[in-house]
Amino acid sequence: WFDQEGHPMSAERWDDPHHRVMQLLLGSGNGDMAGLVVVNGGTSDIEVTLPHAAAGATHRTYELRLTTSPLHKLRQGTLVASGGKDLVEANSISIYRA
C-alpha cells in the first residue's frame, strides 16, 4: 500500500480521515503479472506519484489500462515511468499494468 506521494503507507496515513488517496501494488507469485490500483476517494482531481522501484515496485513503466473517470477513452494507454506523476480524477479508480 502506498500514499499519494508514492511512499509506503504509514500508520498515520491509514488513521487520517482526510487522506482519500491510496495505491495498491499487486503482483503474481511467479512475476508474470503485475498491476497498480489507484483510488481517489476525494472530491478533487489529484496528481499522484506512482511507486518508484526503490519503494518496492520492480517495474519501470506503468500503462493505464482502465479508469472509471469520464476521460477513460482519452487516457487509456498512457505510459507513466516508475516514480512519475499522473492525474487521477476525483472519485475514480485507475488501474495500471506494471
Three-state SS at 15: helix
Domain range summary for the chain, segments of one domain joined by +: 11-97
User: Scanning the structure block, which residue is given the C-alpha cell 498512457?
Assistant: 78
CATH 2.60.40.1180 is held by the domain 11-97: yes
Model pLDDT, residue 57: 53
pTM score, two decimals? Answer: 0.87
Radius of gyration of the chain, Cα coordinates, nearest whole angstrom: 13
pLDDT in tens, 57-81: 556 799 999 999 988 889 999 999 9
> What whole-number distance in Å separates Cα of residue 84 and Cα of residue 30?
26
pLDDT in tens, 17-33: 888 999 999 887 776 66
Q: What is the DSSP string of 32-81?
A: S-EEEEEEE-SSS-EEEEPPPGGGT---SEEEEEEESSTTHHHHTT-EEE
